């Protein structure tokens, strides 16, 4: 039988991308950040087709960021900090209404950044959850506290339906392919402070440059 070329999925490796995306002087390396998101979307896809509508948009956003990196100006997109400086200095971001730059790096990364907050809240709930906790509840609580405020009604509705299809906590832990539930909890405890730091650094940078509302 043909064996899949894809290495077996392991969530700790994915979360490692978010660890390694931070440089010593607290810059965020876009290639690593995007690699983290690519892994997360693969994880989503492994949960079943219902989740493909959720991962589809993330995949589109990832593609846009990869395109920027592969472009002639790719070196300007090495870190989030260098990207923000380059795009703002050159007037490459639509700050008040969508027009010439619907795919600016700043706009695109902001969408992933907002989703990272959801991820942080969801994984923290998962980490501290009891054995009989419902992933669907943890997921929708995290969503309502973060991403939901940026989504119109129809998307919120569809997201809510997808959450109901999430597998239970034990299956969810198995799909992560990290080890025992105890090992998952340890792994999440290691990864979360770094995800949180990456989120906060981006948030501060975007706030400083008034980029948090890019349409
Ligand atoms: C494992 C459980 C999965 C739950 C995921 C929770 C997130 C719900 C996302 C709702 C579907 C998004 C559909 C498209 C939304 C887009 O309109 C927005 C704004 O982009 P614009 O239209 O302005 O270009 N896109 C986003 O908000 C990015 C959302 C990415 C969500 C990725 C979640 C990946 C989770 C990894 C799973 C471990």
Q: Give every CB contact of residue 176 below 8 A, 6+ residues apart in sequence.
A: 10, 11, 12, 43, 184
pLDDT surpasses 60 at 1: no
| pLDDT tens column, 165-209 | 999 999 999 999 999 999 999 999 999 999 999 999 999 999 999
- Ligand 1 center to residue 55 CA distance, Å? 7
Atom of ligand 1 nearest to the CA of 215: 23
* Residue identifier of the C-alpha nearest atom 21 of ligand 1: 111
Given this model, what pLDDT does residue 215 score?
Answer: 97
CATH number for the domain formed by residue range(s) 11-208 = 1.10.3520.10
- Measured CA to CA, the distance from residue 139 to residue 189 in angstroms comes to 18
- Ligand 1 center to residue 57 CA distance, Å? 6
Helix, strand, coil percentages for the chain (3-state, nearest 5): 70, 0, 30
Give the start-to-end residue ranges of the domains of the chain.
Answer: 11-208
| pLDDT tens column, 106-148 | 999 999 999 999 999 999 999 999 999 999 999 999 999 999 9
- Ligand 1 center to residue 112 CA distance, Å? 8
- Measured CA to CA, the distance from residue 145 to residue 157 in angstroms comes to 15
Ligand 1 proximity of 37 Cβ (cutoff 6 Å) = no
Atom of ligand 1 nearest to the CA of 112: 28
Ligand 1 proximity of 111 Cβ (cutoff 6 Å) = yes
- Ligand 1 center to residue 163 CA distance, Å? 12
169, 134 Cβ separation under 8 angstroms: yes
Structure tokens at 24: 């010593």
Atom of ligand 1 nearest to the CA of 108: 24
| pLDDT tens column, 7-29 | 567 899 899 999 999 999 999 99
| pLDDT tens column, 30-56 | 999 999 999 999 998 888 888 887 899
């Amino acid at each position: 039988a043909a064996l899949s070329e894809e290495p077996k999925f392991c969530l700790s490796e994915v979360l490692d991308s978010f660890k390694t995306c931070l440089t010593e002087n607290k810059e965020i390396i876009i290639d690593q950040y995007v690699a983290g998101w690519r892994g997360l979307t693969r994880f989503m896809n492994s949960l079943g087709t219902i989740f493909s509508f959720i991962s589809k948009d993330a995949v589109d956003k990832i593609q846009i960021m990869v395109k920027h990196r592969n472009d002639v100006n790719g070196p300007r997109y090495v870190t989030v900090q260098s990207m923000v400086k380059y795009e703002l200095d050159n007037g490459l971001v639509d700050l008040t209404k969508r027009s010439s730059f619907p795919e600016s790096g700043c706009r695109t990364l902001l969408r992933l950044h907002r989703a990272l907050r959801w991820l942080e809240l969801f994984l923290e709930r998962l980490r501290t959850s009891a054995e009989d906790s419902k992933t669907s509840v943890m997921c929708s609580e995290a969503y309502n506290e973060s991403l939901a405020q940026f989504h119109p009604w129809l998307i919120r509705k569809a997201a809510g339906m997808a959450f109901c299809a999430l597998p239970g906590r034990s299956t969810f832990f198995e799909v992560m392919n990290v080890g025992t539930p105890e090992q998952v909890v340890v792994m999440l405890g290691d990864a979360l402070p770094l995800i949180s730091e990456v989120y906060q650094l981006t948030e501060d940078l975007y706030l400083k440059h008034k980029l948090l509302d890019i349409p």
